[in-house]
Structure 1
């Protein structure tokens, strides 16, 4: 079994989800008391949020590149960045480390294509929804993404940082997300990506007007695949 190196802490709640999903899926596949081999380097989320707000993505990339080097030195076989938004600086991580980075967009695109879909809505932080790093990589793999309106993006971003990152779950916020998903369906979306690790705390497949692609679970499952590869 390969050792997974998780760059976490963005937010702590999402890192817990990754850890739980990876270990539960590893045990489901292997049985007994088996669990995953994981190294975790958890960064200070406050520092990352500050750098995001100031637009200093180079400095944020340096923080995560240092984390990647620590995990590599500790014996990780590959890296998992336990956040969607910070994949914006994935090139800095890949350049710093001598081990592979398992990219969330690649894993999510593969899951969408396995379902035969070609156009999906994208929910996430404002950075994920509006910057090209996510949509362009998804598009290069044959999947079109449909983003919410600018006003919807602002409210989704607020809910993520002011509520979900603090583990505040509010029914009215869930209703807002489902309303946005319904509108994306009317625009031609065949499914919706939960492109932020915290959104799965609020949105579920049962209540969604569209099939849900939970990037957290998809990414975590792909890490188990990679860890158990012969």
Structure 2
């Protein structure tokens, strides 16, 4: 069993979801009232979202690296990041600390390969969907045709994430908008939807869609739990 250090806080709502998944895995394996023995370094969401909106990626990555270094000093033997966008700092964190990092893109790739997904729709923060990191990095691992929503839909998803989900707000209207958007892309050939922002599982689930929903939070957390619990 490894002591896992998790970099969280971007946003706190998503970090809570990871902790619930890991505790559920610990109880499933050990029974009783066992919980996940992990280390957390919580980034300040207010600082991180300011860097995000100003495209201050060196500063954003520096915060992630500081978190990784603190976790190593605290005894972490491996790292994980509880945010899709924040994986932009994953390589730098692993390089600076020398610790293995349980990467969301590896988890998603295995899940898509297992289901023979050929043309997934990538959703997430606007930067995840259209920036120069998340999609290209995932494409290096996965050789299907990753598609992204239109600019209008990217704006809609971004509004839902930043104005609602990170505040813990989930509305029926936004759920319907997300499901309708996925249905439209299904008609255009999408055979799955990737929830590449870790808050999106709060508003979209398999029952809302007719194509597979790849919940990055649950998929990634399951891989973290395997290493944490020694499976």
TM-score (norm 1): 0.96
Give the aligned partner of residue 226 of structure 2.
225
- Over the aligned positions, Cα root-mean-square deviation in angstroms equals 1.3
Give the 3-state SS of the residue equivalent to 2:169 in structure 1: coil
Are 2:59 and 1:63 equivalent residues in the alignment?
no
Give the 3-state SS of the residue equivalent to 1:79 in structure 2: strand
Are 2:7 and 1:11 equivalent residues in the alignment?
no
Please say if residues 135 and 144 of structure 1, whose CA atoms lie closer than 8 Å, have aligned partners that are also in contact.
no
Give the aligned partner of residue 170 of structure 2.
169
Give the 3-state SS of the residue equivalent to 1:47 in structure 2: helix
CA offset at residue 90 of structure 1?
1.9
Q: For the residues of structure 2 that align with 1:211 and 1:21, how far apart are their CA atoms? A: 20
Q: For the residues of structure 2 that align with 1:177 and 1:9, how far apart are their CA atoms? A: 24
Give the 3-state SS of the residue equivalent to 2:23 in structure 1: helix
CA offset at residue 135 of structure 1?
1.6
CA offset at residue 89 of structure 1?
2.4
Give the aligned partner of residue 29 of structure 2.
29
Q: For the residues of structure 1 that align with 2:78 and 2:179, how far apart are their CA atoms? A: 35
Give the 3-state SS of the residue equivalent to 2:122 in structure 1: strand
CA offset at residue 122 of structure 1?
0.8
Q: Which runs of 5+ in 1 are unaligned?
A: none
Question: What does residue range 1-230 of structure 1 map to in structure 2 within 5 Å?
Answer: 1-140=1-140, 141-229=142-230
Query: What does the per-residue CA deviation read over 1:69-118, in whole Å, with 9 as the maximum and x for residues that have no partner?
Result: 00011111111101001112222212221211111111011111111212
TM-score (norm 2): 0.95
Query: What does the per-residue CA deviation read over 1:29-81, in whole Å, with 9 as the maximum and x for residues that have no partner?
Result: 23233322200010110000000111110011001100000001111111110
Please say if residues 117 and 191 of structure 2, whose CA atoms lie closer than 8 Å, have aligned partners that are also in contact.
yes
Q: For the residues of structure 2 that align with 1:218 and 1:40, how far apart are their CA atoms? A: 19
Q: For the residues of structure 2 that align with 1:50 and 1:207, how far apart are their CA atoms? A: 32
Please say if residues 4 and 79 of structure 1, whose CA atoms lie closer than 8 Å, have aligned partners that are also in contact.
yes
Please say if residues 191 and 211 of structure 1, whose CA atoms lie closer than 8 Å, have aligned partners that are also in contact.
yes
- Counting matched residue pairs gives 230
Q: Which runs of 5+ in 2 are unaligned?
A: none
CA offset at residue 137 of structure 1?
2.5
Please say if residues 138 and 144 of structure 1, whose CA atoms lie closer than 8 Å, have aligned partners that are also in contact.
no
